[in-house]
Amino acid sequence: MSLNAWAKGRLLAFDAVARPWAERGRLRAWGYEFLRFGLKQAWACLFGGALLALLIATRLWWPEDFALSRYDFLVLAALALQVFLLVTRLERWDEALVILVFHVVGTAMEVFKTAQGSWIYPETSLLRIGGVPLFSGFMYAAIGSYIARIWRLMEFRFVAYPPPWAPALLAVAAYVNFFTHHYVTDIRNVLFVLSVMLFARTWVQFTPDRTPRRMPLLLGFVLVALFIWIAENVGTFAAAWTYPDQRAGWRPVGLGKLGAWYLLMLLSFVLVSCVHRPRPPAPD
């Protein structure tokens, strides 16, 4: 039995016990639905949460004179986590492929950005490209893993989703702008406006329990970007990487980075949509 099947079995067993209690009142039903929402979110964050835990643990307890560097250990641990997700069928092979693409494009951007001095990885390591330890790509992969898993767990459906080519072009433009804004005008504000125009009418339908709920897709994008920003603060606090204004001591990452994560999250969302095609809600 796969771990995925085991987890589903445990959830069904828990539901058999908790459902009668939840059905005794509206408030209990809402509370139980919120609990299932939280459990699905936590399950979808498995890879990202484990990676953050490793960043914190190695920051607190990694011995400085150990033969294996902290960064190289993080590469090996992240690779083991990815293999674990595939072997246990918590992640599908087609999902892993698009996550790998995001891993590669994220690493390419990291190599460019560190060369520009946008941020640095202060510790030594062997498994790196230029100034970028290879574990950095797994941080981007964690975003793709979350989106792919929550898409399945919440059974996403979309109302008024734009033609697929339009979000794809927007995502490509956003990625290119991360490089070109160092040499020409930064067009991220234009990209924000275009994303609002593109998804203004789009709603995402999700199912935490039995009843489908829905919210504006743009709001979902902003919330995911916010949580990535929080995770970034955890990562920099654990000294996984450092921004120029943090070299004298840690300080919170500015809210201005939310925009960058919004655009990168959009790129990951578009890549995952190549596997999980956006579908409309089932007819009533």
DSSP track, 239-276: TSSB-GGGTTS--PPPTTHHHHHHHHHHHHHHHHTTTS
Q: Are residues 21 and 89 in the same domain?
A: no
Q: Are residues 77 and 110 in the same domain?
A: yes
- pLDDT grade, residue 249 (50/70/90)? confident
Q: What is the pTM of this model?
A: 0.93
**Secondary structure letter of residue 201 according to DSSP:** T
Q: Is residue 161 part of a domain?
A: yes
Q: How many Å apart are CA 97 and CA 214, to the nearest integer?
A: 29
Q: Are residues 119 and 159 in the same domain?
A: yes
Parent domain of 250? 45-272
Q: Is residue 40 part of a domain?
A: yes
Q: Are residues 32 and 102 in the same domain?
A: no
| Residue-level pLDDT at 171 | 95
Of 81, 67, 62, 52, the C-alpha closest to 125 is: 67
pLDDT tens digits, one per residue of 25-42: 889 889 999 999 999 999
Q: How many Å apart are CA 246 and CA 266, to the nearest integer?
A: 27
| Residue-level pLDDT at 22 | 83
Q: Are residues 110 and 32 in the same domain?
A: no
Q: Are residues 129 and 67 in the same domain?
A: yes
- pLDDT grade, residue 269 (50/70/90)? very high
- pLDDT grade, residue 65 (50/70/90)? confident
Q: What is the mean pLDDT of residues 121-144?
A: 93
> For the packed helices 46-61 and 135-153, what is the interaxial angle rounded to 10 degrees?
150
Q: Are residues 5 and 102 in the same domain?
A: no
Do 46 and 225 contact (CB within 8 A), yes or no? no
pLDDT tens digits, one per residue of 198-216: 999 999 999 999 899 999 9
Averaged pLDDT of the chain? 91
Q: How many Å apart are CA 17 and CA 9, to the nearest integer?
A: 13
Weakest mean pLDDT among 86-90, 117-121, 232-236:
86-90
Measured over the CA atoms of residue 255, residue 56, residue 140 and residue 162, the dihedral's sign is negative
> Structural domain tally of the chain?
2
Do 36 and 208 contact (CB within 8 A), yes or no? yes
Q: Are residues 142 and 252 in the same domain?
A: yes
Q: What is the mean pLDDT of residues 98-109?
A: 90
Helix, coil or strand: residue 284: coil
Residue 196 has pLDDT above 70, yes or no: yes
Q: How many Å apart are CA 166 and CA 201, to the nearest integer?
A: 14
Q: Are residues 24 and 73 in the same domain?
A: no
Q: Is residue 18 part of a domain?
A: yes
Q: How many Å apart are CA 153 and CA 40, to the nearest integer?
A: 7
- pLDDT grade, residue 2 (50/70/90)? low
Q: Are residues 1 and 96 in the same domain?
A: no
